[in-house]
Amino acid sequence: MRFSLAGAALALNAFANAVTINQINGVKFISPYVGQTLTGIKGLVTAKGPSGFFLRDTTLNLDIRSSNSIYVFGSQALKNVTVGDIITVDATVAEYRSTSTYMFLTELTFPNNVKVLSSGNAVKPVVIGQDLLVYPPTEQFTSLDNWDVYSLPNNQSLVSTANPTLQPLIYGMDFWESLTGELVTVKLPVAITKSNRFANVWIAGSWRTSGKNKRGGLTMRDRDSNPEAIVVIDPLDGTKNPTTVKLGDTLEEITGVITYAFGYYSIYPQTAVKVVASASPATPPPTTLTSSGTCKQLTVGDYNVENLTPRSAWLPSIADHIATYLKTPDLMFLQEIQDDNGATNNGVVTANLTLTTLVNAIYNISGVQYAFTEVLPVNLLDGGEPGGNIRQAYLYKPNLLRLRKPNLGGPLDANEVLPGPELKFNPGRIEPSNVAFTASRKPLAAAWETLDGQNKFFTVNLHQGSKGGSSPLVGDARPPINGGVEDRSAQANVTATFVAQILKQNPFAKIIVAGDFNEFTFVEPIETFKSVSNLLDLDDVTLTPSTERYTYMFDMNCQEIDHMFVSPALILGAAFEHIHVNTWSTLADQKSDHDPSVARLNVCS
């Protein structure tokens, strides 16, 4: 369905004459002529699509805030024009979006009285970063974000209501808005993500970027979510973009039209994108972190295995990742282990078959025999795929580690820190009845020791609530809605308080908290976690460059939502690596939407 502001402005629907395209676009996000029917709009046809065409102003425009071009929606008028025609047309100015969370796109609707003034005129695209005086800004999105798209509270204003004056030298959304409808060329484009399921791919061109990682992507960092990126969508000529583009691929020069679609500023390319070179090596090297088989160099892995069941086609590959790329860590934190019959919703919650199948597959590759432990969830109460009953689990090498004073908790048993410190349930869930964990996974705490009964340490394996309900980074709501952020803040506080109780009894306790936090380290939930728990981000401890901190890709960003935190007693000699087995692959070849990580720590008493 098409939603338009034109109907809301019928009171303004008076005929006006000789208004230029620059004036129609104006210097704000919403046109000053919305709802008005204009006559004699003059322009050069620069491109045609299946439902309309793009028209460029033929008058000189020195104001970088207003676009020189506009989209004309109407298949009937489309038949009467050819690229290179200079025409006049009568039309109604509208603001269109397909859903309320998106931005409006200024366009001309109900075109009629098309007159071709001349044909065969040269159509020259604007080269971004060459013909323009400015590059896309690299950090800030709009003037409405309080300088941080993840600042709280979210959703304090709407672009469509505030309608600020464009400042394309400062804000990325303003920059792209000032180019909507324009035929452009992107030189030296590089894929900063893989193709998504619609064969769309995010790119950056020859302009200045920030957050560039070694693979060629752009990594999200504090107050920098890369507004300089743009996504390439459906080709205008009806060809199909490849589904095999990978992070870091070099693409052939792209010419196309800037638009706003599906929540982001986008390019309709004239024809399908073409890969001319790929980043090397094709797959990442295995971790360099290996275990010594002693407490001095214990290896710890973390991996969200994405709805793993005994019958998952990707289970053998997950096993290979753990065996080959992570080199069979001594202890594995796993998330998204589904029950034994997966998403079949029949009351089954046990995952013994899922975990046994995975453990056996790892053994067949590596000869390493893992044991495992978990706490069963209550059916349908932990979120995720309906019927799948996802939960966290641990794999561990029983010839090196064991649970200290094992006492398996039930799904509703609340773990406690007892004098010692010891755990009441081992393993056990942290506050499983707390409303913060409604329809979400409960943190799984455990205490471990080496087989000699020495070298005790604690772990918490967590998978916090999802970002469901978020609005696009480049959407109408400002700052954008960070779905579930309040729940994740409450969850982080619960987990951190539990950890703080251990450290209160023993400031030298060795504690590892790892898993899928579904959040970034510079956003409130994790800031709360760090402040309350007094644990340290292992990326900070090991000085991982900020651009190399990623385990996930979403929209234009390489980002890190999987983390490992340790207590101060574990920082000496610590090492940490992210293994990009999934972010570097094609969409078809990825086995999980997360990358695993592996650490090496000294847990000796």
pLDDT of residue 8: 41
> What is the average pLDDT across 361-384?
98
Position 131 scores a pLDDT of 83
User: Residue 10: what pLDDT?
Assistant: 40
Percent of the chain with pLDDT over 70: 97
Poorest-confidence range of 14-28, 205-219, 331-345, 553-567?
14-28
Cβ contacts of residue 449 below 8 Å, gap of 6+? 401, 402, 404, 455, 456, 457
Label residue 17 by pLDDT band (50, 70, 90).
low
Q: Quote the pLDDT of residue 135.
A: 87
The predicted model gives 581-587 an average pLDDT of: 98
HSE-CB for 23 with a 13 A CA cutoff = 13
> Across the chain, what does the average pLDDT equal?
96
Angle at 504 between CA 502 and CA 505, to 5 degrees: 70
Rounded to the nearest 10 degrees, how much is the dihedral formed by the CA atoms of 127, 128, 130, 135? 170
Instruction: For 539-562, write each residue's pLDDT tens digit.
Output: 999 999 999 999 999 999 999 999
Beta-strand ranges (E) seen in 358-476 are 371-374, 391-396, 401-403, 417-418, 422-423, 428-429, 444-450, 457-463
Q: Say which residue the tokens 């590959």 belong to.
A: 317
pLDDT at 252 over 90: yes
Burial class from Cβ neighbours inside 10 Å (0-12, 13-18, 19+) for residue 566 reads buried
The pLDDT assigned to 1 comes to 32
pLDDT the model gives residue 594: 98
State phi, psi for 578 to the nearest 5 degrees: -100, 130
Predicted confidence at residue 133, as pLDDT, reads 65
Closest CA to 576 of 604, 540, 535: 540
Assess whether pLDDT exceeds 80 at residue 134.
no
Residue 292 CB: number of other CB atoms within 10 A? 12
pTM: 0.95
Instruction: Report how far residue 279's alpha carbon sits from residue 213's, in angstroms, rounded to the nearest whole number.
Output: 12
Say whether pLDDT at 112 is over 60. yes
Mean pLDDT of 109-119: 98
pLDDT in tens, 507-517: 999 999 999 99
Decide if pLDDT at 7 tops 90. Answer: no
Q: Average pLDDT for residues 84-93, to the nearest whole number?
A: 98
